[in-house]
């Protein structure tokens, strides 16, 4: 399976959204593989790379003009939209990575409390690969320059601004993946 071929079914090469998606997804994939190697954990690296390349495929159906996306849905929906696209492609495992990667994952309570226009189901990463794509993505968050890798010192306050429970999830992942401190 070639992730870039699937991306080209939905994105026009040369468009702003395509260039952003490809650059961002390659960065996240590279980061995820690098963290995987340092973790000592047994991960499915082929699946990890593919899923990292495809995790944001739903963005073109959202309204994110800065990323060249002119869809009708709010950006928060891009994970679920990605799941729908990937399921239609027959990629059910990759689809779950897309749905569950937003932030450090969305709980039913998050969706309810924030009135997000999302189905009320648990959207937190479960498998190691799901967690790792979500984790790697946080180093390239869309706040500030989305293409510049953020340091741990920059990532943590952003996550803390979403809530202490979110920061705890992130800190669990730092330990899980034996991510170097500092």
- Of residues 56 and 129, the one with the C-beta less far from Fe ion: 56
CA neighbor of 99 nearest in space, from 127, 71, 124: 124
CB 140 within 8 A of CB 31: yes
- Of residues 36 and 123, the one with the C-beta less far from Fe ion: 123
- Of residues 43 and 55, the one with the C-beta less far from Fe ion: 55
**Shortest Cβ 152–Fe ion spacing (Å):** 19
CB closest to Fe ion, residue no: 56
Q: Which listed range, 35-43, 48-56, 125-133, 165-173, lies at the site for Fe ion (CB under 5 A)?
A: 48-56
**Shortest Cβ 113–Fe ion spacing (Å):** 20
- Of residues 143 and 181, the one with the C-beta less far from Fe ion: 143
Q: Is 130 in the site for Fe ion (CB under 5 A)?
A: no
Owner of token pair 């890798």 = 149
**Shortest Cβ 177–Fe ion spacing (Å):** 19
**Shortest Cβ 98–Fe ion spacing (Å):** 8
Binding mask 53-72 for Fe ion (x = CB under 5 A): ---x----------------
Give the interface with Fe ion as residue ranges (CB under 5 A): 56
């Amino acid at each position: 399976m070639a992730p870039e071929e699937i991306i080209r079914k939905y994105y026009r090469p040369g468009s702003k959204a395509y260039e952003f998606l490809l650059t961002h997804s390659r960065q996240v994939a590279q980061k995820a593989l690098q963290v995987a190697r340092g973790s000592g954990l047994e991960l499915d690296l082929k699946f990890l790379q593919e899923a990292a390349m495809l995790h944001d495929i739903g963005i073109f159906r959202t309204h994110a003009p800065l990323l060249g996306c002119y869809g009708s849905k709010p950006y928060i929906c891009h994970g679920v939209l990605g799941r729908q696209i990937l399921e239609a492609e027959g990629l059910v495992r990759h689809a779950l990575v897309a749905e569950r990667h937003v932030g450090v994952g969305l709980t039913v309570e998050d969706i309810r409390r924030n009135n997000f226009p999302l189905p009320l189901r648990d959207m937190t990463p479960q498998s190691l690969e799901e967690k790792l794509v979500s984790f790697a993505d946080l180093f390239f968050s869309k706040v500030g320059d989305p293409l510049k890798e953020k340091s741990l010192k920059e990532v943590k306050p952003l996550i803390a601004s979403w809530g202490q429970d979110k920061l705890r999830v992130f800190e669990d992942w730092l330990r899980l993946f034996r991510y170097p401190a500092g």
